[in-house]
Structure 1
Amino acid sequence: MIEFHAPAADAPELALSPLHRAASLTLRHLVESGPIGLTPSRALKRYFVTWAADAFAWPGYTTDELYALNKVLNEHDFPPLVVLHDLLLAAKLARHRKGFLHITRTGKDLFEHPGSLWITLAQHLLLANGHDDMVDIEWVSVLKAVNVEAHSGVTDKQFSTRLMGASDKDYHLKSLVYVHVLRPLCWLGLLQETRQNQSERFFTKTPLWPLALTFEGSLPLPSVTKH
């Protein structure tokens, strides 16, 4: 059994989650500046994408990094914003109406309760979203595996091998595990990703992990010595 816990509203560990920061900033924008315009295809309009890229300062997707690849920014050029947009709709924190994205009553309430906002984002990102390229994820087993494997640190290749039995050269499966498991946990602030080289990533649990997750019946893990 795994339990998610809402961090306290003033918990500094919430700052470790780029997704929580982006959601909070977007909800604040909706409260203070009003509805956000949508394109005919219901994507967020370019003026907001430009604002979001700067305001979110999302690791790996900063303004400089995005403009290095794009002359102008549309929503699909900023993948975390695409995910956030979908989550806001799925969690009913915002809704589309008459060509604009509007905040809902639930969105206004959770904007005032940051810990509950994080829980809502986590539940929808991990438990409610489908995975087109992969069998449904059994998150209880996966999170238990991450809890052990990332305690002292694990590479994406090592984790894919231990979780799925993937071979060292099964790059497609390693990519799926990264996109559907490791990256979402990083976006929630539960894991920290660092690069060891051009092709390998290294993951460790953050201080938000023990604050937000408990594992019933699990043995205590050894302390980690940091050098």
Structure 2
Amino acid sequence: MMLSSELGPHILLNAGLPLPDLKVSPLCINGMKLLAYAHDLGGIPLTQSMANFNRRCVEWAAEEFRWPGYEPADLYAVSKVLNEPDFPPLFGLHSMFLNARVVRHHKGKAVLTKAGKSILGAHGKLQALLFDRAFFDSDPYGGDPRVIEAGLWDIRHILSVVGNRLADWVSLPDFTEWSVPVEIFPTTGPLGAKHNAILYVALNAVRPLSWLGLIEVVNGQGGMGDLGGRHLRKTSLFDKFVRLAILQTGTASVH
């Protein structure tokens, strides 16, 4: 079941993939766990001050998600008491679910909407929904057409780079140069425009792609802080899930 992405008719998403194909997507697998948790509780209680998920939910998610890079030991090493902002994947899912209107805040709880209830158990549909939300929410320019025309944020082009050039391991600096015009990034800071471009791509493209299970990432000897040492390649899920259409006047072909 191919659906047009909300990001544009030139991006098609396979919303009919079965669960075994999607097990590499922590966003989909754990997003479904969170929806089921909210459904079973009749809503997740929210904090009064920030309307975040309450601490009990955060502690449950830390243990249940087992999110790569955010294991319980990693989280508790930073903070002995976990709040939602201390667990970025959970914080991101909460925002995406609100923006997608599959949950809403009602009487101090995050409760499933009719759309949220309809997606329970439908992992393929959830993966497609989260793909759109991940890139809408990560785009710092909000889909500004002037930015797209300048080539700074062209998600179709970035996906094309992944599909065509990431069959084997590629360094993050190379991926950045293929994906965005490095020369138009600000030169401020001690490391200059290229570092700023690499950081931009790491946050706004690599992170959502990896959370969706569409690429895998290995770090260099310098660890998580070594952006230049990171290497990426696409997973088998990418070609199963994403299709890119070549738009022509009045028609579109898929490849």
Considering the TM-score relative to the shorter chain, is it more than 0.5?
yes
CA contact (8 A) 1:20 1:117 kept: yes
CA contact (8 A) 2:213 2:235 kept: yes
1:129: Cα distance to partner? 5.1
Q: Any stretches of 5+ residues in structure 2 without a counterpart?
A: 1-9, 184-190, 247-252
Q: 2:78 aligns with which of 42, 65, 69?
A: 69
Do residues 6 (structure 1) and 22 (structure 2) align?
Answer: no
Q: Any stretches of 5+ residues in structure 1 without a counterpart?
A: 221-227
The 10-residue stretch of structure 1 (135-144 or 105-114) with the greater mean CA deviation from structure 2: 135-144
Distance in 1 separating the partners of 2:175 and 2:231: 10
Q: How does 1:1-227 map to 2 (within 5 A)?
A: 1-8=10-17, 10-40=18-48, 41-127=50-136, 130-131=139-140, 135=147, 137-166=153-182, 170-198=194-222, 199=226, 200-216=229-245
CA contact (8 A) 1:7 1:14 kept: no
**TM-score after normalising by structure 2:** 0.79
Superposed CA offset, 1:132-160 (max 9, x none): 59956221111112222312221111111
SS at match of 1:68: helix
SS at match of 2:119: helix
AA aligned opposite 2:239: P
SS at match of 1:111: coil
Matched residue count:
219
- Alpha carbons of 1:128 and 1:83: their partners in 2 closer, same or farther (altered >3 Å)? closer
SS at match of 1:118: helix
1:123: Cα distance to partner? 1.3
1:185: Cα distance to partner? 0.4
Distance in 2 separating the partners of 1:164 and 1:210: 22
Q: Percent identity?
A: 31
CA contact (8 A) 2:209 2:215 kept: yes
What CA RMSD, in Å, does the superposition of the two structures yield over aligned residues? 2.3
**TM-score after normalising by structure 1:** 0.88
Whose RCO is larger (CA < 8 A, sep 6+)?
1
Distance in 2 separating the partners of 1:205 and 1:113: 24
Superposed CA offset, 1:8-33 (max 9, x none): 2x341201011111211011111222
